[in-house]
Amino acid sequence: MNRMRMDRRSARAMAVGAVAALGLAASATGTAVAAQPTQQQVPTYTCGGGVTVGPLVTGFDCTASPGAPKIGLVDGPFVVTIPAGSYTCDSGVAAVPVTVVGFGCEPEPPA
């Protein structure tokens, strides 16, 4: 009889642990979905100088919009504005305020 109690307790503890793990997984999934940028949340960088070479845009002396990564990879679309114009880039690297490098960039259409 004592052994049955241990088995039931173990089963109950495992069930509670599984429910907690599922709750954490659901919470993490919800956070990941909420963190994806929308049209209004696309990171932007405004730079005092810069150059373009084909689909590569490098900006210097940059500021980042709120929520835009200041250091490291910029994964997903973002906008870099340099004196020559604004460019939408597929991905890049930021080291604000020193530089922002965009890959797969195209000029934004005139407003």
Identify the segments of the chain with pLDDT beneath 50: 1, 3-6, 8, 10-34, 37-38
State residue 38's pLDDT score. 47
Average pLDDT, whole number, for the chain? Answer: 77
- Are 14 and 45 members of one domain? no
Strand partners, 81: 46, 86
43 touches 92 (CB < 8 A): no
Domains in the chain: how many in total? 2
Q: Which domain holds residue 14?
A: 1-36
- Are 16 and 45 members of one domain? no
- Are 43 and 31 members of one domain? no
94 touches 72 (CB < 8 A): yes
Q: What are phi and psi of 19, to 5 degrees?
A: -65, -40
- Are 50 and 28 members of one domain? no
